[in-house]
Structure 1
Amino acid sequence: MCRQKFRMTRQNIASDPNQVDFRLALCNQYIHELTSSGYTVLRIDMMTEDLEWNHVEYNFTVVDSSTKYQLHIVCRDSCDYDSLWLSDTALFCTFDEDNDNWKQRDCAVDHRGGWWYSWDAYCTEGNLNGMYPDNLPNEKHGIFFFNWRDWRPM
């Protein structure tokens, strides 16, 4: 079911505003509105398989759709675990909108989900928006945060 939803194009999603997929497509617009209103702190809490906890905090904003929801992100706390610094100024990428500036790859297809992928990061060092891979915990498919090994978002 996740793969089916992922394979929908922006045009398919926009055709029926009563569908859940349409409402999910609006998430970047909502994030833009929140960050434009001053809600600009992102905290990510992580836990290893051994129940070791840690976190990282960012100052961030998401620009509007005219810039393809460009991300601006800077670590503000616990920067040893920063896996998003190479995504600063990245444009949001989806299956049908390859904005990663990498001609040989389509990062959204390779990583099975929309995210702020960038050629600078060889797609990304941290993806919190992919499918959760119970059987692939150490691969860059689905959800991962490269600088925090063997973690799960909480």
Structure 2
Amino acid sequence: MKIVVQLITLSLLLLLIDANQYCDNLVRECNANFKTRCLLNFTINNCCDLKLFSSPSGIYKLRKGAFDTGNGYCDMDNAEGGWLVIQRNKKDSKVNFSRKWKDYEEGFGDVKSEFWYGLKQLRCLVERGQWEMRVDYQTSSKAWAYIHYTQFSIGSASDEYPLMVGGFTGIGSNTFATSNNMKFTTVDNENDKWSGGNCAARYASGWWFNSCHGINPNQRPPYPSLLFVEMKIRPKNCITQ
């Protein structure tokens, strides 16, 4: 009964507290004996919050302040964890990535398998603070590699969500360089620089196209001939929290 009262009390507090206080309340109210139950019943601000509980990778409900931003897959295993997966695609994916602008804004697919998180939700998450991005992928030779950007953000909806990345590291090539500062393009909203037509129509996928070259995780199979690709982001201060 005591635990039920604690959970009800915390759920009421969530309507009143500032987002910065959210994790403090989770830690205080959810002791180690009931942390799994607590995490199943309450939302978190972002995947980095889960590091407080040494939580496993999996699907969690996310929020930003008082606003629900939906379910997200948190990668707690790679590079010290705390990553929100925002895209996943593989060679034999059955998810259709040839979608119109509205679908890419809202998101589609299944976070348990292949999906696109959604430009609106991405913008909501990264419009404040500093974020970084990691891309894990498997090549056609079945070798695993990753690329990492210490700076990641996207612009507003009114500017058609331009991508901004910087601070490249990793064991792959700087494949996002050609997409930097490009607006998002879909089959029904062209913003690329290709004079021959619409890159999204040519490759049956939405992306931050320049001239249709460079990496494109959303086509099938993911370019360049990848077996698997997964994009993920986290706050830059995550590993120091």
TM-score (norm 2): 0.46
Change in CA separation of 1:150 and 1:95 when aligned onto 2, cut-off 3 Å: closer
Q: Distance in 2 between matches of 1:45 and 1:2?
A: 19
SS in 2 for 1:126: coil
What does 1:118-129 align with in structure 2 at a 5 Å threshold?
118=210, 122-129=211-218
Is residue 48 from structure 1 mapped to residue 132 from structure 2 by the alignment? no
Change in CA separation of 1:124 and 1:49 when aligned onto 2, cut-off 3 Å: closer
Asked if structure 1 preserves the Cα contact closer than 8 Å seen for 2:146 and 2:172, the reply is no
Deviations 1:37-65 (A, max 9, x none): 33521101122344422211112110011
Q: Distance in 2 between matches of 1:23 and 1:88?
A: 22
> How many residue pairs end up in the alignment?
128
Q: Which has the higher strand share?
A: 2
Is residue 111 from structure 1 mapped to residue 194 from structure 2 by the alignment? no
Asked if structure 1 preserves the Cα contact closer than 8 Å seen for 2:155 and 2:163, the reply is yes
Aligned twin of 2:182: 90
Asked if structure 2 preserves the Cα contact closer than 8 Å seen for 1:56 and 1:75, the reply is no
Q: Distance in 1 between matches of 2:193 and 2:131?
A: 26
What does 1:46-85 align with in structure 2 at a 5 Å threshold?
46-58=137-149, 59-78=151-170, 80-85=172-177
Q: Distance in 2 between matches of 1:90 and 1:80?
A: 21
RMSD: 2.9
Asked if structure 2 preserves the Cα contact closer than 8 Å seen for 1:75 and 1:82, the reply is no
Structure 1: gaps of 5 or more residues: 14-19, 134-142
Percent of residue pairs identical: 22
Aligned twin of 1:153: 229
Change in CA separation of 1:125 and 1:21 when aligned onto 2, cut-off 3 Å: closer
Structure 2: gaps of 5 or more residues: 1-93, 109-116, 231-241
Query: What displacement does 1:103 show?
Result: 3.1
Asked if structure 2 preserves the Cα contact closer than 8 Å seen for 1:73 and 1:88, the reply is yes
Query: What displacement does 1:90 show?
Result: 0.3
Change in CA separation of 1:128 and 1:105 when aligned onto 2, cut-off 3 Å: same
Asked if structure 2 preserves the Cα contact closer than 8 Å seen for 1:75 and 1:85, the reply is no
Aligned twin of 1:38: 129
SS in 2 for 1:76: strand
